[in-house]
Chains A and B, each alone.
Chain A
Amino acid sequence: MNEKEKRPNIERPLTKDMRTDGQALDIKEYVRAGGYGGLRKALREMTPGDVQKAVSDSNLRGRGGAGFPTGKKWSFVPMGKDAPHPGFLISNSDEMEPGTFKDRILMEGNPHQLIEGMIISSYAIQADYAYIFLRMEYGESAKRLSKAIAEAYANNYLGKNILGSGYSLEMRLHLSAGRYMCGEETGLLNSLEGRRATPRAKPPYPQLCGLWGKPTVVNNAETLSNVPHIVKNGAQWFRGLSCTDDGGTKIYGASGKVRRPGAWELPLGTTVREILEEHAGGMREGLRFRGLLPGGASTGFLIEEHLDIRMDFDSVQKAGSRMGTGTMIVMDDRTCPVGMVRNLIKFFARESCGWCTPCRDGLPWVEDILHAIETGKGRHGDLELLEEHCALLAPGNTYCALAPGAVEPLQSALRYFREDFERHITQKSCPWR
């Protein structure tokens, strides 16, 4: 199918039932809106394999940032009589990527949707336990999810012999204690085991050797929230929601100095311009657009010339960045790109787990150079030193994806806003201050 011509059905399955007063949908409201229908269908009419197939066919790609096909991820879990147990399914609700707040909106507004998605997904991989790994600062989400889990237990959507199907699942909400690394799926596993959240080597992949050495799937909260709808309405319907070959809608967001910062459920592949101008209302009065990070702090800049590309995994990648979490951070013309990048790098340097050398000791150095440049102490050769670091902190050179992600905005800023960097150095001060 020609991407350009694909017209999606404008539907908002993830958010349409949410209340307008900001309160969570409770179980009655959720069920009235058709909630847990997907679960009933899965348990009554589908084998775990059928559910996996539906999700594969739906072309659902992970919403955690990397866009890995969800069905494929699940397919690596050993199934059948000899499969090791217990198995685990984990909702990655850590959402600590700066600029990202989409999972919070889903969890606060419709906690049961996530829970139902998790139960169906657990069924699909025959997990015995499901965890919601939630960042500690999300107090409101925690409250609402706890209540929803209790409601789900009370209605036998969780616990022993769910709805008489013979399938049992225990679910727990786990509150983290701060650290971006916990969102990295293997760091998350260590964290859940009560260890330091340093990442694990892959292979072995979590599907084979995850939590407590047992089969485990980690999916993003938004990814999992999509599952009930796929099961209920079918893969084809799901694909039809999107402007691209990848199925579904996407919660896009925008922050920074735009008129209406926020998040919106839109067809996957909506253009950057539409999100920025129509939904976020364009730049605030008197400000001009200079660039944006399309999907969180670890994605490279897009600039004016990219506004008409589609926000989907492949198109953004082609433009040299990544869709990431799909929540964009917008930079205006009164914001110093050097300062902005320094703020980003400072975050990553502080959140480095301290395991591998390039990230642990490289990022603080990068931060240091940026700080020097920003405060007028930059030297000739500093930009080359920064570029050198961008190349050195490439994927594969570090242990996990944190450091490579960290230098993405820097690398692109050096490309698109190079004069701004140079001006700092020659002027020996920040032109914006």
Chain B
Amino acid sequence: MLTETERREIEQELKSYGRKRAAGVEALKIVQRHRGWVSDEHLEEVAGILGVTPDELDGTATFYSLVFRREVGRHVILVCDSISCWITGYEDILCRLQNVLGIGLGGTTPDGRFTLLPVCCLGVCEQAPAVLIDGKVHGNLSPEKIESLLEKYE
């Protein structure tokens, strides 16, 4: 069940779009902001609020890469794997992340702390290589900086 707050925020969003369908992805992102991801149950509930079918909503949701339809950890590390980061050595960063966390891309640590995902160019190429953790950019990384970076996240 969605919380009152989530519902309120979704209703608010509906108002600003005028057309319900247009707010679909926005509404799912609200759920994701609160819960980290969008479960089937919540997707169905949102579809109900929007007056669309789950098929319609999920057809859109699954198109986008940043709507998470599977459970993620408390913190999501998005590792930029695009060109400037590739040139400047993202593969080493990724490798270190995988080793430290003991998971592969798409994986979540057993303690539910981190999920590791690839992401397209973050638009911070001047600070390449970079990762985005919970929406915050960390640039000019090197493998050595990884462990201390992760420490900040409970």
A contacting B, Cβ–Cβ less than 8 Å = yes
A2 and B81 CA atoms in complex are apart in Å by 43
CA separation between A80 and B123, bound complex, in Å?
40
Chain B 72-92 interface residues, beta-carbon cutoff 8 Å to A:
78, 81-84, 86-88
Provided the pairs A212-B19, A255-B126 are in contact, do residues A98 and B120 lie with their beta carbons within 8 angstroms? yes
B126 touches A263 (CB 8 A): yes
Which residue on chain A has the smallest CB distance to residue B20? Answer: A194
Interface flag for B16 (CB, 8 Å): yes
Residues of A within 8 A of B121 (CB): 96-100, 297, 347
Interface residues of A in 360-402 (CB under 8 A from B): none
* A31-74, CB < 8 A from B: none
By the criterion CB–CB under 8 Å, are A194 and B22 in contact? yes
Say yes or no: is B24 at the interface (Cβ < 8 Å to chain A): yes
Q: When the two chains form their complex, are residues B86 and A343 in contact, meaning their CB atoms are under 8 A apart? A: yes
Q: Is A245 positioned at the interface, with any CB of B under 8 Å from its CB? A: no
At the interface, yes or no: B103 with Cβ under 8 Å from chain A?
no
Cross-chain contact A95 with B123 (CB below 8 angstroms): yes
Residue A81 CB within 8 A of the other chain = no
Q: At the interface, yes or no: B101 with Cβ under 8 Å from chain A?
A: no
CA distance A297 to B135 in the complex (A): 24
The distance from the CB of B122 to the nearest CB of chain A, in whole angstroms, is 5
A193 touches B82 (CB 8 A): no
Cα A297 to Cα B126 in complex, Å, equals 15
CA distance A137 to B136 in the complex (A): 9
- Which residues of B lie under 8 Å from residue A76 when comparing CB positions? none
Q: How many residues of B contact A (CB 8 A)?
A: 40
Q: Mark B135-147, 1 if CB is under 8 A from A, else 0.
A: 1110000000000
Query: Would A327 and B87 be within 8 Å (CB), given that A139-B135, A194-B60, A212-B19 are in contact?
Result: no
A175 close to B26 (CB less than 8 A): yes
- Once A and B bind, how many residue pairs between them come within 8 Å at the CB atom? 137
Is B150 engaged at the interface, CB distance under 8 Å to the other chain?
no
Closest to A280 in B: B126
Contact digits for A309-323, partner B, Cβ 8 Å, 1 yes 0 no: 000000000000000
Question: Contacts A139-B135, A212-B19, A329-B87 known; A101 to B123 CB distance under 8 Å?
Answer: yes
- CA A344 – CA B86 in complex, angstroms? 10
Complex Cα distance A367/B19, Å?
Answer: 40
| Complex partner residue of A192 from B16, B22, B29, B82, CB under 8 angstroms | B22
Q: Could you list 20 A-B pairs, sorted by A, with CB under 8 Å?
A: A98-B82, A98-B84, A98-B120, A99-B82, A101-B124, A101-B126, A137-B119, A139-B135, A172-B16, A177-B28, A178-B120, A193-B22, A194-B60, A195-B60, A196-B60, A256-B87, A263-B126, A329-B84, A332-B87, A347-B121
Interface residues of A (CB under 8 A from B): 95-101, 103-104, 135-140, 172, 174-180, 191-197, 212, 253-257, 261-263, 293, 297, 327, 329-332, 335, 339-340, 343-344, 346-347, 350-351, 353
Binding site for A on B (CB under 8 A): 16-17, 19, 21-26, 28-29, 59-60, 63-67, 78, 81-84, 86-88, 119-128, 132, 135-137
List 10 extra interface pairs beyond A135-B123, A137-B78, A194-B24, CB under 8 A: A178-B67, A191-B25, A194-B19, A195-B60, A256-B84, A261-B126, A343-B86, A344-B83, A346-B81, A347-B120
